[in-house]
Amino acid sequence: APVAPSAAVGAPATVHSPYGQLRPLAALSAERLATGDLVAAAKWGTGGPVDDPAREREVLRAVADQARELGADPAVTVRIFRDQIEASKVVQRGLHRAWEADPGRAPTERPDLGEVRKEINRINGELVRAIAGSPYARSAPYCAPLLTAAAVRVRHERQLDGLHTGALARSLRSVCGGG
Ligand SMILES: C=C(O[C@@H]1C=C(C(=O)O)C=C[C@H]1O)C(=O)O
């Protein structure tokens, strides 16, 4: 088949390739994890828990609805988002531990959790679209190595530390494997 000129040039034309479909999943997951830093700061010093089961249910219900609207599998979408949520909590708990150990590194300003959640909702919507647009790539036998490559790329681009690199892997745990 003829190759579109831009395919030889680079990234934009690769959006239909398996890697091009998985890359946004890794990038958006890292973007979502970055909001974990803000959520951790919002909860720091409040005495409140990192876990908010009611908010988690709200997120999962919303993404299941969005998946249905896009004709994607709501169960698969929810499965992936359970990992996204766990990964956010890995970041939050890790930061709280670091700030307890070294209070000089703790944030001095408290972000508005409601505002941060608006941003999380926006990213959630983009993630649902990326999930809906990648059924073939996610069920491909070579999904895992491509996803790992995408995560490594994102790690370098965003200069992720160990905490966020581990959380990124956690967030992507059930992306591959079909469905
Ligand atoms: C990010 C938050 O912290 C946790 C993680 C959530 C998420 O990743 O969507 C939701 C609720 C909390 O259990 C939050 O409270 O908004």
Tell me the best of 38, 43, 55, 115 to mutate to test the pocket of ligand 1, counting ligand atoms within 8 Å of each CB and taking the most: 55
| CA-closest candidate to residue 135, choices 75, 94, 92, 82 | 75
Asked if pLDDT for residue 9 goes beyond 90, the answer is no
Asked if pLDDT for residue 85 goes beyond 60, the answer is yes
Report residue 177's pLDDT band, with 50, 70 and 90 as the boundaries: confident
Q: Which atom of ligand 1 is nearest to the CA of 116?
A: 16
How far is the C-alpha of 111 from the C-alpha of 67, rounded, in Å?
A: 30
CATH class, domain 20-171, is mainly alpha
Residue identifier of the C-alpha nearest atom 15 of ligand 1: 52
Q: What is the pLDDT of residue 6?
A: 46
Q: What is the pLDDT of residue 119?
A: 98
| Ligand 1 centre distance from Cα of residue 52 (Å) | 6
How far is the C-alpha of 81 from the C-alpha of 126, rounded, in Å?
A: 12
Q: What integer is the mean pLDDT of 114-126?
A: 98
How far is the C-alpha of 94 from the C-alpha of 68, rounded, in Å?
A: 34
Nearest-5° Cα angle at 100, 94 to 101: 90
Asked if pLDDT for residue 67 goes beyond 80, the answer is yes
pTM of the model: 0.92
Q: What is the pLDDT of residue 10?
A: 46
Residue identifier of the C-alpha nearest atom 2 of ligand 1: 39
Asked if pLDDT for residue 168 goes beyond 50, the answer is yes
